[in-house]
């Protein structure tokens, strides 16, 4: 089974004090560390597990600059066979444009399965996988937590709201967006990453993939980034149920909520 995995390098924003940059449309990232997107990490691991079980190849792809090759090298160290980095130059990227670029490159590759993460840690949009499937004309499913290939089709588990799990069939080739928890991503050592440097990593310039200028324009407009307003701590309401209910109603009315 030949598998393509789309990956992204994202800044670590947990447990740091975020600041809005001077444009007001992004956060300051100069002092932030970068890692492979968490959901993509599970997609890489799933692709390698499938390759080990069914044979075939795994190709990882990212849209980004030279620094983004770190996540490709990590994927190669996990067991991927080839990597492709698409150099976007000065393009302003969004999910719409990234899916367009990825689709144009993937069209020229051999594959039975395309995997993405459910969403990205930096913007949380969760749109690239499904838009990519539409552009490639593939059957697709999102938030996948299980996969078993059965010839020209596969059985998949999909996470639904409320802790429910859906089991269904999907025709191959297909695109799946992978949820965290589908597996346990393997540890990658520094030595493993160095050894992966011998594997194939190709760089493609976006101007060479055959898209017109009109197709290389982002469709998402960001008006403003802002931090949540600071508020006081939680108010603890004590007393019997009737007094608590009255207090809640009073607070809601003070906040302008119709009750």
With CA atoms as reference, report the closest residue to 64 among 83, 45, 78. Answer: 83
- φ, ψ of residue 197 to 5 degrees: the values are -60, -15
Number of C-beta neighbours around residue 185 at 10 A: 18
Residue 90, C-beta contacts closer than 8 angstroms, at least 6 positions apart? none
Q: Kindly state whether residue 55 falls inside one of the protein's structural domains.
A: yes
Q: Which two tokens stand for residue 165?
A: 């799990």
Measured CA to CA, the distance from residue 99 to residue 84 in angstroms comes to 15
Q: Kindly state whether residue 100 falls inside one of the protein's structural domains.
A: yes
Q: Kindly state whether residue 238 falls inside one of the protein's structural domains.
A: no
Residue 196, C-beta contacts closer than 8 angstroms, at least 6 positions apart? 73, 74, 76, 77
Q: Kindly state whether residue 249 falls inside one of the protein's structural domains.
A: no
Q: Kindly state whether residue 235 falls inside one of the protein's structural domains.
A: no
Q: Are 115 and 47 in contact (CB under 8 A)?
A: yes
Q: Kindly state whether residue 256 falls inside one of the protein's structural domains.
A: no
Measured CA to CA, the distance from residue 190 to residue 183 in angstroms comes to 22
Q: Kindly state whether residue 83 falls inside one of the protein's structural domains.
A: yes
Q: Kindly state whether residue 224 falls inside one of the protein's structural domains.
A: no
Q: What is the CATH number of the domain that holds 205?
A: 3.40.50.620
CA angle 102, 105, 110 (to 5 degrees): 115
- The domain in which residue 114 lies consists of 3-216
165-217 pLDDT, tens digit per residue, is 999 999 999 999 999 999 999 999 888 888 888 899 999 999 999 999 999 99
DSSP state of 135: H
Measured CA to CA, the distance from residue 115 to residue 42 in angstroms comes to 10
Number of domains in the chain: 1
Helix (H) or strand (E) holding 82: strand 82-87
Helix (H) or strand (E) holding 165: strand 165-171
Q: Sign of the CA dihedral 174, 64, 145, 46? A: positive
List the pLDDT tens digit at each of the 259 positions of the chain.
999 999 999 999 888 888 999 999 888 988 899 999 999 999 999 999 999 999 999 999 999 999 999 999 999 999 999 999 999 999 999 999 999 999 999 999 999 999 999 999 988 889 999 999 999 999 999 999 999 999 899 999 999 988 899 999 999 999 999 999 999 999 998 888 888 888 999 999 999 999 999 999 999 888 998 888 877 777 888 889 999 999 999 988 888 887 6
The model carries a pTM of 0.86
């Amino acid at each position: 089974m030949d598998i393509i995995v789309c990956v992204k390098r994202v800044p670590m924003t947990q447990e740091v004090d975020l600041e809005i940059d001077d444009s007001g449309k992004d956060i300051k990232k100069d002092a932030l560390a970068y890692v492979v997107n968490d959901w993509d990490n599970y997609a890489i691991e799933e692709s390698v597990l499938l390759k080990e079980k069914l044979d075939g190849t795994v190709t990882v792809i990212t849209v980004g600059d030279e620094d983004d090759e770190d996540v490709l090298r990590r994927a190669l160290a996990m067991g991927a066979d080839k990597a492709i980095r698409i150099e976007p130059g000065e393009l302003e990227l969004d999910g719409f444009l990234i899916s367009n670029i990825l689709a144009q490159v993937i069209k020229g590759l051999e594959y039975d399965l395309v995997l993405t993460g459910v969403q990205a840690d930096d913007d949380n949009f969760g749109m690239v996988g499904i838009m990519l499937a539409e552009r490639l004309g593939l059957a697709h499913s999102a938030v996948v937590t299980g996969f078993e290939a059965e010839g020209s089709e596969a059985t998949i588990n999909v996470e639904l709201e409320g802790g429910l799990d859906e089991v269904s069939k999907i025709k191959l080739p297909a695109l799946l967006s992978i949820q965290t928890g589908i597996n346990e991503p393997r540890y990658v050592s520094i030595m493993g990453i160095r050894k992966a440097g011998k594997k194939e990593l190709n760089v493609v310039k976006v101007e060479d993939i055959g898209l017109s200028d009109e197709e290389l324009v982002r469709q998402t407009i960001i008006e403003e980034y802002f931090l949540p307003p600071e508020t006081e701590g939680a108010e603890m309401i004590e007393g019997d149920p009737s007094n608590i209910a009255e207090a809640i109603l009073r607070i809601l009315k003070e906040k302008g909520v119709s009750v």
